[in-house]
């Protein structure tokens, strides 16, 4: 938990309570359904929570925005972002039912009112659009963009400054992305997470943004 406070402040008492409760919630459920590797559970806050919040370090979601977490797995980046942005609505989906069961249970344990979940693939989402799609190392960028683009609104709500807030896909990726970007046909912006957080774990990890 200290590693989160190292980089982020101004949390409300409720947010601090929710962030603290993540550890026990994930440990309890991980004993039943393995959504985080056994060796990583002790590094939950660094490798999962802080990694997820690297999106919050580079993007500011506007109030009442609708955000889709595509292939949420164990709830990352969606659960930490939902704690960080309590006035933003998050919809977390995954094609694996047991993972969504854990995500739903964690969201309920933390009393996250701004989280909904669904056991489905992105291609199965109908008659609904979002301001932003987030994802963490789920698939190649080309596929993520193919799935995300039809689900993104063409225009976003106004930012607090009154300017249209850009919408699009924000995903977390690692390694050499040269070929993956080339094959995607899009021109994303990249932020090295190591420039945000000094821990060695974040070397060669990036926040990748594709604007709509």
Q: Mark the binding-site residues for S-adenosyl-L-methionine, compressed into ranges.
A: 71, 76, 122-123, 136
- Placement of tokens 């683009």 in the chain: 149
Contact 103, 74 (CB under 8 A): yes
What's the Rg (C-alpha) of the chain?
16
- Report the 3 state secondary structure along 143-193: HHHHHHHHHECCCCCECCCCCECCCEEEEEEECCCHHHHHHHCCCCEEEEH
């Amino acid at each position: 938990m200290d590693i989160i406070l190292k980089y982020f402040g101004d949390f409300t008492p409720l947010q601090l309570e929710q962030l603290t409760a993540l550890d026990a919630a994930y440990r309890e459920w991980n004993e039943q359904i393995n959504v985080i590797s056994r060796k990583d559970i002790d590094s939950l806050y660094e490798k999962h929570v802080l990694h997820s919040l690297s999106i919050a370090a580079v993007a500011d979601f506007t109030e009442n925005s609708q955000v889709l977490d595509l292939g949420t797995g164990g709830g990352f980046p969606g659960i930490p972002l939902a704690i960080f942005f309590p006035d933003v609505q998050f919809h977390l989906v995954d094609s694996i039912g047991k993972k969504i069961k854990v995500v739903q249970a964690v969201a309920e344990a933390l009393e996250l009112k701004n989280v909904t979940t669904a056991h489905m693939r992105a291609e199965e989402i109908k008659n609904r659009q979002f301001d932003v799609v987030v994802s963490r190392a789920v698939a190649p960028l080309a596929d993520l963009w193919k799935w995300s683009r039809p689900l993104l609104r063409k225009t976003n709500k106004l930012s607090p400054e009154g300017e249209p807030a850009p919408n699009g896909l924000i995903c977390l990726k690692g390694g050499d992305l040269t070929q993956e970007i080339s094959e995607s046909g899009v021109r994303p912006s990249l932020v090295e997470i190591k420039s945000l957080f000094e821990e060695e774990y974040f070397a060669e990890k990036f926040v990748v943004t594709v604007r709509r």
